[in-house]
Structure 1
Amino acid sequence: MIRIARLLSSLACILSVMPTTLPASTTAAGSAALPTVADVARRAENREPLSIVFLGGSLTWGANASDPNRTSYRGRMMQWLRETYPHTPITFHDAAIGGTGSALALFRIDRDVLPHKPDLVFLDFTVNDGITGADEQNLASYERVLRDLRGSGAAVLPVLMCVHGQITAPADSPLPARYAAHGELAAAYGLVTADTLATARAAVAAGRADPAQLYSIGNDRTHPDDSGYALFFEAVRDAWIKAAATTAASPVPDRTLHADLYPRRDRHVLVDTPLPAGWERAKTYRTAMWFDGLSSRWMGDVARAGSAHAAPLEITFRGSMVGLFGESNPLTPPFRVWIDGKPLPQPGSHAADPYLWNISTARFGSPAAGAANLFAWTLLTRALPDGEHVLKIAPDFTNAAPGAELRIESVCAAGR
């Protein structure tokens, strides 16, 4: 691969990759060779058509970039690949939704990723899964997404994202727990990672970057300006170059590194089942506060309840985790939730009634129809005993304004 060789020789340093030996508790799954980034690069050199998906959150979409399709890491990487392989037809697919992590991705890959038959997936979620956290549930959902992507035959390049607080931390600070765990997972699956933290810290240490300028949009310390995304792009580009020159296989381990909590997933689309009285089928909103939050991109028709006459919605599901995927605006009424007949409080609620779930976007816009529309992913619980359960949802229109509607596309359940 002449072009890759030239690129390798032109770089002063290339992003290092974590050790690729499998932990003692895992073994390579079978002998069939799965495609790698090197295989994708070889196909690109041969001018074969490619399908590439960017799956992640707002840092993959490019929040705060002046033009997310051009100046985000994603936009820059797309342009670099076009320029590097000018005669190769490459189709890019954006599957990034801000504010979401691997828990929702469990239910999205079958709709938003795999239908594109990706040859390669750039995989984010390190920040949105809680970069300093270490909970087993998010590690399980991330690994399951990674495992399913590899099982589909797609090469995967994990992009380990960071934010201002990690970039400005002392150089000898330990890696954030989730960041380290995602790196260890990539190593176990034989994958090269894009280490944005190492790239950004090196740029700051060399005087090439100033954190105050990288994060210069308002008080946002999560989403950088164009200059920050340029550094993230450098990390991803260098990871591509290193992976393209790597000849080692990247087998899927026989067993997961973390507890395999979610091998079974069900996205129960409500309009595909009989709806209770007072609920009806409706099309999704066609406007949103930001493009990656436009619900019509990520879901089909919703079940809509628009009055106090709506009966409770009940559905039986299997799993240990359950959530609601739909849409909301400032008028969205609160609702109550029961699982197996027991009321479920909203986590972190400071309301007088913690059992009244509030998912409205009133914090973003005035309470008017058509204002501040947004998708809504509501994780109800991940603490159920694995098995069959009954979920009941009852909208509460007691103090609702005219035009208020509860809009749910699907009940998403996962478990063993």
Structure 2
Amino acid sequence: MSEHLLILGAGADRTAGIDFPLANTLLADVTRYLDGPGKPVDEALRAMLPGMRFSFNSMIARAVDKIATREPYEQKAMVQRVQEAIANLPSDKENVRKHGELIIRLFNKLAAIAENSQLDEETEQLIREVFPKDADDLIDSDSILDIHKLSLSDTFKTVLKRTLKMGLSSDRHEVAAALGADMLNIETLLIEKFLGFYNERLPDIKNYLYISWALWAFLVARQKEVLAVHGANPLPFYGNVPSNVRAITLNYTSFLQQHLGSDNPIYFHGGLAEYVRMDTRDLLSIENILDCDPATFIREVVAPNVDVKNEDLREQRHVIPALVPPLRLKPILSHRYIDLWSKASDWVKEAQRIVVVGYSFNNADEHFNDILRVHPDRYIDIVAPEANSAAFLGRMEKVFGTAANQYNKITVNGVSALQAKKARLIPARATEVDLSVLFTGNNK
């Protein structure tokens, strides 16, 4: 039994020198990959999925059409992201700043319509006076306008579509990235399409096969690039992980397994080196994943095991990458995940000291958060750049029940941190802390 447990989130793979994209920018990277070096992957997948019409560009039109149906708080969150994106732009990006101001202005007008349509107290009172017997039946909504049925003008739609398409281009565009982080989130897309396996929507199943294998191919190719750059040298961050710890990772990359071997890490969300046959739920291994050519693997292994020609779902065959969709309620891709998640819970229970690096405790990972909730009495260090922010403290309260005002200011490894009970929040990047020191529990 190991008393030390390391938990890794996406921030670990963001380390300089590895530079894997986060989920909110991933779709643009996958799109550029498929249009460039991953073109053979796109061709292999489309040959495997005859009649599929999906493209990431066509997804933009659907995302824009849904804008008016978004709740006001969601629209406000989009405005805030754009505001943050243009707040500190250099002077040579004046056009980008104006672009952001245009988006903000359009969204504010949409928000004003929603706000002004709210049923105010004076109007409600007049309705009750005019129709005293039927008022409760008449007042069945808090608004006089159903904003979910509104249709955006071509002007608004065109501005949004052109902006989002800029986010799929090779040039960095801050406003497009801010909008795309929400409207073009590949994890949200995976969730939406994965439901096709449950409600038997064949177009969604085809789309999921395409999107998930395209994502897998991109991650495999990117992983090979990182390993090629570093050669025989230790990887940033991973090379400094103590060899005597257990580790649970919520990432897909093979970097942790390379360093710790196959017994000490748990891949909670699955990994790049396995795939699943959906009818039997068998979890199958991919040999030599570090040298795998994605297009070749899809043509020679995946395609022969996929058959979507029959309209009867029971007569079809599907294999998908072992990448667990980021649902709050985790789908059981294979029975082996039941054992895996149980093992992860046991490791948390057995650990005397836990160090969490680059994990944001988001709602999409509630299944894993629940494991930490069940065992709240561990010594735990949480390392993330935003660890002391109000939003992060709010998530800590949901997971551990610790209010923001219960933390005390301390210093850990020379970094100003917060501590409450057995938990320490350390605002730092993965490479800015010494894991060996954290596992000793030293404060200085």
Shorter-chain TM-score category?
under 0.3
Structure ID, larger Rg = 2
TM-score, normalised to structure 1, is 0.26
Instruction: Tell me which protein shows more strand as a share of its residues.
Output: 1
Q: Which has the higher helix share?
A: 2
Structure with larger RCO (C-alpha < 8 A, sep 6+): 2
